[in-house]
């Protein structure tokens, strides 16, 4: 009878130890998963902050480059100078396209990407005629400022999403 009791007690202890072991493993796995999620959220938060800065700075770089191109054409700058300015402007458009893709991947609010895309279209529409058919200073200024509303909306939406995620 004692042997049966001992076996039963041992089996109960083994079962309890196994249950505790399984619980600890599950808890550890859950904790590791939570830590990974937090790390991913922190990375996303950092990327969003980086994009916020880049999306804030890029329009002014492009604005300046577009005006530089316009002045080069107006002042009959050398072909070499025009090409340098055109290459610089194109590199900004290339960077801006990359920023647009990153915005669509790193922000939930797709209006952010749509505003960026609309801004890009407005700036392209503004710079395109500079070397083709020509454009007046007033018309160029008007076209560039048409993009302001998109930039402002985008930055506001980015700020709100970053602020919300930070909570």
Whether residue 54 is contained in a domain is answered as: yes
Residues 52, 158 contacting (CB under 8 angstroms): yes
Say how many domains are in the chain.
Answer: 1
Whether 18 is covered by a domain: the verdict is no
Whether residue 21 lies inside any domain: the answer is no
> Between residues 101 and 25, which one has the greater pLDDT?
101
CA 43 to chain centre: 12
Whether residue 83 is contained in a domain is answered as: yes
CA 143, CA 66: separation in Å to the nearest integer?
Answer: 11
CATH number of the domain enclosing 150 = 1.20.120
> In which domain, by residue range, is 48 found?
40-166
Which residue carries 């700058």 as its tokens? 77
Write out pLDDT tens, residues 69-94.
999 998 888 999 989 999 999 999 99
Q: Considering the domain boundaries, does residue 12 fall inside one?
A: no
pLDDT in tens, 139-158: 999 999 999 999 999 999 99
The predicted model scores a pTM of: 0.75
């Amino acid at each position: 009878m004692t042997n049966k009791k001992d076996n039963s007690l041992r089996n109960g202890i083994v079962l309890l130890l196994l249950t505790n072991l399984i619980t600890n493993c599950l808890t550890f796995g859950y904790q590791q998963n939570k830590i990974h999620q937090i790390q991913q959220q922190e990375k996303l938060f950092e990327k969003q902050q980086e994009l916020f800065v880049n999306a804030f700075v890029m329009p002014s770089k492009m604005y300046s480059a577009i005006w530089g191109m316009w002045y080069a054409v107006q002042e009959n700058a050398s072909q070499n100078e025009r090409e340098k300015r055109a290459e610089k402007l194109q590199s900004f458009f290339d960077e801006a396209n990359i920023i647009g893709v990153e915005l669509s991947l790193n922000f939930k609010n797709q209006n952010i990407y749509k505003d960026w895309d609309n801004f890009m279209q407005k700036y392209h529409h503004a710079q395109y005629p500079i070397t083709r058919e020509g454009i007046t200073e007033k018309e160029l200024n008007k076209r560039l400022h048409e993009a302001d509303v998109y930039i402002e909306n985008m930055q506001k939406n980015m700020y709100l999403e970053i602020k919300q995620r930070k909570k």
